[in-house]
Amino acid sequence: MHNADPLFRLDGRVALVAGAASGIGRASALGLARAGAMVVCADIDRAGAEKVAKEAGGEAVALDITDEGAVENAVAQVLARHGRIDVLVSTPAVNVRKPLLAYTTAEFERVTRVNLLGTFLIVRAAGRAMHEQKRGSIILMSSIRSVTTEPGQAVYAATKAGLVQLARTLAAELGPAGVRVNCLAPGIVDTPLTQPIKNRPDWCEAYARKNALGRWASAEEMAGPVVFLASDASSYVTGAVLFVDGGWTAIDGRFQPPV
């Protein structure tokens, strides 16, 4: 039974979700499937991807997005099986929280390799297919850290800001072919990536107080914005950053001045 506005429906479209085994990737895959898309769940965790694919009624593929050959092969497999890729959602990211002066070169390379290089590789492969078919929507997972950061977040924040400029430039390059490219910028979301913060009650509560809604988001709350950016409801939206952060970037804390 389809109750949603047809603008938000994705029936007959093929969506590739990288990082689909958990967190925002899983929520995105399930949300796209509910909107009618045929979802291909890709993740380095093959078992996890297969589990989500079963929930979504889709397919699974093992994929390390930092492996150029694997990325090209995965996209080729989707095209061979379905003939097109209408939506790409790229969510994989890692973070090493520590002061920049204490960062090792290996840590820097690990974070940038997954967050920037990996995203570039899958965007390039899927983007080429979309350019040929003259249609598509690419959604990259940025963060509030693209515009506001804190001690210990330098490299992660740099990669998330970099994704915004990657998306904007690609939007300009692919726009004439009818391909849209946008970023989603979540705030504090309950995912495996943020578990170290959730494990610290003081840190967890401080983050909740930092946004206007006074709470963390669930990963499922990212599904609606992803579906919006994937669907015809956002047909004139490209090169944009959609902040889904509970108002974090709109306010400067929870202090109530005596006004």
Residues 95, 156 contacting (CB under 8 angstroms): yes
Tokens of 125: 């492969």
Tokens of 242: 């959609």
**Residue 28 burial (CB count, 10 A):** 34
CA-closest candidate to residue 89, choices 191, 173, 20: 20
Q: Is 236 a catalytic residue?
A: no
- Looking only at the bridges linking them, the beta strands covering 38-43 and 14-18 are parallel
CA-closest candidate to residue 32, choices 6, 2, 65, 9: 9
Residues 239, 181 contacting (CB under 8 angstroms): yes
Residue-by-residue DSSP string for 12-80: T-EEEEETTTSHHHHHHHHHHHHTT-EEEEEES-HHHHHHHHHHHTSEEEE--TT-HHHHHHHHHHHHH
Options 103, 156, 207, 236, the catalytic residue? 156
| Catalytic site positions | 156
